[in-house]
Amino acid sequence: MNESKISVRYSRALFRSALEKKMLEKIFNDMDRVGQICAIKEIKDLLNSPILIPSKKREILHEVFGKELAGLTNSMIDMAVKNGRESYLPAIARVFMTDTLKYNGITETVLTTAVKVDDKVKKQVTDLVSSAFKTKVELKEVIDKDIIGGFILRIDDNFIDASIRNKLRRIEKELKSRTLTA
């Protein structure tokens, strides 16, 4: 079974349970925390370690997450560890959060720029996406100096790449494809 199927199954089961128990917002916050903590190198190593036994991994994860997580979230983590699926926790968290945003009618939008943009530009982007997609927008800003200038806008699975880096790549490709004659 591939990674996406596994993470989707766990995520959807958690989502249905959270919805049924009217705990969607709490579990959303828990999964955000799980995703952030699982991004730490030492935690990644723990999740992928073939040496540590599941009970020790579960004990360490409970210690790391503390008592802040809901019982439902802890149960899902315990089940994932018991079934040897702990390495999928970051993907489970990501799928859960995406599904929750969609359920709430929110479109996650990522604006990547070379420099920080002001609030006026952010509002313009949010308003534009909101009206074009008829949805609420959660805008995340990413700074990536490698794009040189311009922007990259990701709306769900749609990309608008108006970066200088992309334009330079296209020019380079075009120049390489032409044969030079003397």
Model pLDDT for residues 108-162, shown as the tens digit of each residue: 899 999 999 999 999 999 999 999 888 899 899 999 999 999 999 998 778 899 9
User: pLDDT tens, 116-127?
Assistant: 999 999 999 999
Q: Would you give the DSSP letter of residue 148?
A: -
**Domain at 3-102, CATH from 3.40.50.1970, 3.30.980.10, 1.10.520.20, 3.40.50.300:** 1.10.520.20
Domain ranges of the chain: 3-102, 105-177
- Cα 133 to the chain's mean position, in Å? 20
Sequence-separated (6 or more) residues with CB below 8 Å from residue 75: none
Helices (H), the chain: 3-20, 24-38, 41-48, 54-65, 71-82, 89-103, 119-133, 164-177
In 3D, which of 34, 40, 45 has the Cα closest to residue 76? Answer: 34
State mean pLDDT over 151-179: 88
Cα–Cα distance list, 49 to 58, 61, 64, 81 (Å): 13, 13, 16, 12
User: pLDDT tens, 52-90?
Assistant: 999 999 999 999 987 889 999 999 999 999 999 999 999
- The burial of 11, by beta-carbon neighbours within 10 Å (0-12 exposed, 13-18 middle, 19 or more buried), is given as buried
- Sign for the pseudo-dihedral over CA of 54, 55, 58, 60: negative
Question: What pTM value is reported for the model?
Answer: 0.74
Q: Would you give the DSSP letter of residue 26?
A: H
State mean pLDDT over 14-24: 96
Neighbours of 18 (CB within 10 A): 23
Q: Place 29 in a pLDDT band, splitting at 50, 70 and 90.
A: very high
Sequence-separated (6 or more) residues with CB below 8 Å from residue 52: 46, 60
